[in-house]
Structure 1
Amino acid sequence: MKCDKRYMLLYAVTDRAWTGEQTLCEQVEAALKGGVTCVQLREKEMDETAFLQEAKDICALCHRYGVPFIVNDNVDVAIACQADGIHVGQEDMAAGEVRRRVGDAMLLGVSVHTVEEARRAVRNGADYLGLGAVFPTSTKTDVDQMTNETLRAICDAVDVPVVAIGGINRGNLLKLSGSGVDGVALVSAIFSAEDIEDTCRKLRLLAEGMVRA
């Protein structure tokens, strides 16, 4: 599966912290209806059996909407549910080892913070990169904020699609215009919204304006 940069436009990363009246699957479907272009399932606390079942359910849901489904970190779950891709960070399994495990057909995304990390990830088989945190964020407290200079330098240094992540919302998304990123990855800006579908519709319009600028 080739990583089209259009997949990066509005990239939803799940967080069950905001599940309540709705299940995570219902929240993801609302996001899909609103126009997200990729969904990453992120579960750090769930046991393997439950994680796999949830991954299968959300994978099937994404495919009904024609949107790629990515699993965060867990290579075994990604393979078992036949996900479209796997995303890993610098502290997770090395990109080269992940590529050997999943083969050539599955997308491989890697989180990077420097030009050196970006180039190494691409050499080791990354199909796209996640860059951040581009703004202050409470979701990832162990990552420093990336400067605009580093963001642009990474975009200029690689020839794979890139998505910005970290603290992005409707109020600051357009500040990324001209940076070279192909889209934005959002967590709380999507899943904490009262009306996820409507919020995603508005975010999609902003993201389209950002990449055109």
Structure 2
Amino acid sequence: MVFNKAWLDVYFILGSMNTAGRDPLYVVEQALQGGITCLQFREKGTGAKIGLDKFHLAKEMQRLCAQYQVPFIVNDDVGLALAIDSDGVHVGQEDQSIQEIKAIAPKGMVVGVSAMSVEQAIQAKQEGADYIGVGPIYRTTTKADAKEPIGLKGISQIRAAVGTLPIVAIGGIQAEHKNEIKEAGADGVSIISAISTARNPQEAARSFLS
């Protein structure tokens, strides 16, 4: 798939630990039926799958995404992204550098980077990131190590600093926040718990559509 900023409109992030005890493949398919525009596989934290279990879950999620023609991105694990030929990989500030990833990744593999400040966003742009994930926008309980929220003002400042580089916002986002987030300069929103723990993930995903 050729990267398009439309991927970022409703960017769902999921690991097996985020599903309120349900089968993650059920939640993924429900979200795909609800219209998510991208799926990021983020298998981290207490109880996360490792090794072959992680590999097989990633492959099954990737297979579902292919059925719905939705891009599939792997969080942090560059080796896994390469092994399954995912559409992209997303890394944090402490992970492998963009240049290192681009040197070993096939041409066309998308590389996204998390940025919590204008300085980090500018650096990501300079190093060749295809898009940046900015936040947290609001307070979130999904990530134990989440930083202080940057708010809508933070999005606007980063947008001004990086020009047309695609931006997706993350952190405590609900469907009713989407319009103000896009008005502040983001191209889309990243969601974890608002879809993954919803009683009806399909309806929850649909509520985020523009």
Cα pair distance change 1:3/1:48, threshold 3 Å: same
Q: Name the residue aligned to 2:119.
A: 116
**In structure 2, how many angstroms separate the alpha carbons of the residues matched to 1:49 and 1:18?**
19
Aligned pairs for 1:75-90 within 5 A: 75-90=78-93
Cα pair distance change 1:19/1:134, threshold 3 Å: closer
Q: TM-score, normalised by structure 2?
A: 0.91
Q: For the Cα contact (< 8 Å) 2:17–2:43, is it kept in 1? A: no
Q: For the Cα contact (< 8 Å) 1:99–1:124, is it kept in 2? A: no
Q: Name the residue aligned to 2:65.
A: 62
Q: Does 1:24 align with 2:24?
A: yes
**In structure 1, how many angstroms separate the alpha carbons of the residues matched to 2:20 and 2:119?**
41
Residues 114-161 of structure 1 show CA distances to partners (whole Å, capped at 9, x for unaligned) of: 122112112222101100000000112322211332211211222221
Q: Which of 137, 140, 148 in structure 2 is aligned with 1:144?
A: 148
**In structure 2, how many angstroms separate the alpha carbons of the residues matched to 1:172 and 1:129?**
19
Q: For the Cα contact (< 8 Å) 2:34–2:202, is it kept in 1? A: yes
Residues 182-209 of structure 1 show CA distances to partners (whole Å, capped at 9, x for unaligned) of: 00000000000011111111121xxx1x
Give the letter aligned to residue 78 of structure 2.
V
Q: TM-score, normalised by structure 1?
A: 0.90
Aligned pairs for 1:23-62 within 5 A: 23-44=23-44, 45-62=48-65
Q: For the Cα contact (< 8 Å) 1:108–1:127, is it kept in 2? A: yes
**In structure 1, how many angstroms separate the alpha carbons of the residues matched to 2:136 and 2:71?**
23
Give the letter aligned to residue 119 of structure 1.
I
Q: Name the residue aligned to 1:157.
A: 161
Cα pair distance change 1:18/1:150, threshold 3 Å: closer
Q: Name the residue aligned to 1:92.
A: 95
3-state SS, counterpart of residue 172 of structure 1: helix
CA RMSD of aligned residues (A): 1.6
Structure 1 unaligned segments of length 5 or more: list them.
209-213
Q: For the Cα contact (< 8 Å) 2:136–2:151, is it kept in 1? A: no
**In structure 1, how many angstroms separate the alpha carbons of the residues matched to 2:133 and 2:158?**
10
**1:20: Cα distance to partner?**
5.8
**1:82: Cα distance to partner?**
1.0
Give the letter aligned to residue 16 of structure 2.
R
Q: For the Cα contact (< 8 Å) 2:18–2:192, is it kept in 1? A: no
